[in-house]
Amino acid sequence: MSRLGKKVIPLPSGTEAIVKTGTITIKGKLGELSRSFKTDAVSVQITPEGIKVDPVSESLLALKLWGTYASHIRNMIQGVNAAYEKSLIIQGVGFKADIQGEILVLNLGFSHPVKVEIPQALTVVVAKDTIKISGISKEGVGQFAAKIRAIKKPEPYKGKGIRYSDEIILRKEGKKSATV
């Protein structure tokens, strides 16, 4: 049984939810998010207290999706009211980032600059050695941040690369010189 799924999801004032066959749409002050659900596994109803998610049957699939769908709806409600934000730090000599229109240009020590297209729903701000990504979709912000980090992961000897602002890189000790 899902502890998160049992709880009714409260709707803050100024937030509107619409459920149509297999799709839920959440509208808030920052925008609108929609997501499709398997109606044969989980049912979603709007009540005066908020949004209620219940499994349709006692099948293993329905019980697995029950808490997952409740979490997705909570994230959608939070996103349309307050934007999600991830911060990345670029560390290394000569490593830098720049925005040219809708393209993020990264100079990371490769023979060429790496160009990454910024999705429409996201806002990217570059300041010195920091990249801030924000948007209403938690999934979209996290996926784009992971995509940028994967271009040049931080290495354990000098820490060069792209890392999350709250990530700690465990450093390794380099080779020791042999004394004869």
pTM of the model: 0.87
Burial class (CB in 10 A: 0-12, 13-18, 19+), 33: buried
Residue ranges of domains in the chain, CATH in brackets: 3-81 (3.90.930.12), 84-164 (3.90.930.12)
Token pair, residue 64, equals 């697995």
List the chain pLDDT tens, one digit each, 180 residues: 667 788 899 999 999 999 998 899 999 999 999 999 888 888 899 998 899 998 988 888 888 889 899 999 999 999 999 999 999 999 999 999 999 999 999 999 999 999 999 999 999 999 989 999 999 999 999 999 999 999 999 999 988 999 999 998 888 888 877 676
Taking Cα atoms as reference points, which of 20, 138, 153 lies closest to residue 85? 138
Taking Cα atoms as reference points, which of 136, 142, 134, 138 lies closest to residue 30? 136
Distance CA(121)–CA(117), nearest Å, equals 12
